[in-house]
Chains A and B, each alone.
Chain A
Amino acid sequence: MVKLIEIIDLEVCNVVSISNMFENLGFETRIVKSPGDLANGKKLILPGVGTFEPASRKLFELGWGDYLRSNKEDFELMGICIGMHLLGHGSDEGSGMGLGFIDATAKLIETKSASVPHVGWEELEIVKSNRTLDSSVFNKFYFSHSYYMSCDDKTDIDAVFHYGGDKFPAVISKGNIIGVQFHPEKSHRYGARLLESFASFNV
């Protein structure tokens, strides 16, 4: 069965690489600008390249804030990078609200020695498996960010990465909501596998 992946376009984010990767995996994709554009509304990607404030502003201006909050039980949603940060309550990067799906706030990475922004590939330490993340296989992903998700409830953290002598959340989830700090769309076969498993399970 061909599944439809709908990718939310907040205009400040890059959607092309994500849609390319899903298409190469044989999934159908739609880029949706407002909730009215949704055909299915079952498998949603909230991507993010950019900074929190403009992304948050667009999220609410385009009607996504209200829509996603009101229909929370109807879809499976993956937030990527800034999209992950939008799942929480807010960010130290700038003003603006998040969706509040996960009790977390984005904070600046501060380490003694390592460079910030954090840019590069990391192997994950999987704390607990979720439907998208397979702990039995090698996982390596590309990160590019200065802020990380600080979770109030540590049980929402599924995987961490190590950087500058500290640990930071790489994957968080709560029910049908999942957030990844890295960029699966830029993580070739590892990213493709993650997106495929996200797309494949039934809602």
Chain B
Amino acid sequence: MYKRLVPVLLIEGERTVKTINFKDGRYLGSPLNIVRIFNAKEVDEIIVLDISATKKHRGPNFELIKALADECSIPCAYGGGIRTLEDASKIFSFGYDKIVMQSSFFDNPEFISKVASLRGAQAVSLSLDVIRDQSGDFKLFNYINREIRDLDLITEVTTAINLGCGEIIVNSVDRDGCMNGLDIELVKYIKKFCKVPLTILGGLASFEDAKLAIEHGADAVGGGSFFSYKSKTKGILISYPKTPLTNAQLK
């Protein structure tokens, strides 16, 4: 049984960027070129997130995301600015296997069940951004206004799953772009309440990090910097490990 190691591409307009703590997006290159490289490297899956769509009150950039899907003979997911069933249907018709929701879930949780009843749970992922407060507790972070949401993380996870969500993607804001390791405590905390696949994101710096998260219950591991930079000195080089992430490597 393989576990997924997933490059997450952040796009702003027509640019691929890499953020640090959800700020200061650094330009990495053209999304089309980067997706082509990942496809050629036969990555397990790719997630494309337009982090500027909802911020700028616009919908998905359909032209770009269609072009990206056309490059993929691998599984792909898209998130950013999806508000309606029409948006979702259009994205699936391009060949995306999953759509990723965040703002649309908080504004209208029922949207998840609408998409899931038509496309199946496996086609709907919920992305949650999590930040630790001063006492180290996990809080939901709103990347639009950079404020903490007055909601309980586990309650939201449970609600989403009950509505038909088929994957929880959890992203540590404090570790984003820092390459200081994944938040294993966060994996353990959510896994207890999560019967659907759990993907952990934020801080990935090595293959060992990914294995550790899998050992603690993650079904998949996402990363940005790890696949985009040559080392911690951050020379841009798109790469992907040749060894698959499997259970056989686990104790």
Contact = CB atoms under 8 A, between A and B. Distances in A.
A108 B3 CA distance: 21
A100 interface: no
Contacts of B166: 117, 119, 146
Interface in A166-203: 183, 185-189, 191-192
Interface in B85-103: 92-95, 97-98
A144 B198 CA distance: 14
Contacts of B39: 188
Contact of B93 (A14, A140, A187, A192): A14
B161 to A, nearest CB: 10
Contact of B121 (A12, A21, A117, A187): A117
A36 interface: no
A115 B167 CA distance: 9
A16 B95 contact: yes
- Give the secondary structure class of A's interface: mixed
Interface string A100-118: 0000000000000001111
Interface in B34-65: 39, 42, 44-45
A51 B117 contact: yes
Interface residues of B, number: 37
B75 A142 contact: yes
B196 A115 contact: yes
A17 interface: yes
Nearest to B191: A115
Contacts of B74: 142, 186, 188
Interface in A24-56: 24, 49-51, 54
A51 B44 CA distance: 24
A51 B164 CA distance: 12
B73 A186 contact: yes
Given A183-B97, A186-B97, A192-B73, A119 B122 contact: yes
A174 B42 CA distance: 32
Interface string A46-69: 000111001000000000000000
A119 B167 contact: yes
A16 B69 CA distance: 9
B176 interface: no
Interface string B164-185: 0011000000000000000000
A51 B4 contact: no
Interface in A1-26: 12, 14, 16-17, 20-21, 24
B88 to A, nearest CB: 12
B197 A115 contact: yes
Given A115-B219, A122-B1, A145 B122 contact: yes
Contacts of A192: 73
B140 interface: no
A192 B93 CA distance: 20
A54, A119, A183 interface centre (most CB from chain B within 10 Å): A119
Interchain residue pairs A-B with the least CB separation, the first 3: A117-B122, A17-B95, A121-B2
Given A16-B94, A121-B44, 7 more contacts: A14-B97, A49-B120, A82-B120, A120-B219, A144-B123, A187-B73, A189-B42
27 contacts: A12-B118, A14-B92, A14-B95, A14-B97, A16-B69, A17-B95, A20-B70, A20-B73, A24-B73, A49-B97, A93-B120, A115-B194, A115-B219, A120-B4, A120-B197, A121-B44, A122-B1, A123-B2, A142-B75, A144-B123, A145-B120, A146-B121, A163-B1, A186-B72, A188-B73, A188-B74, A192-B73
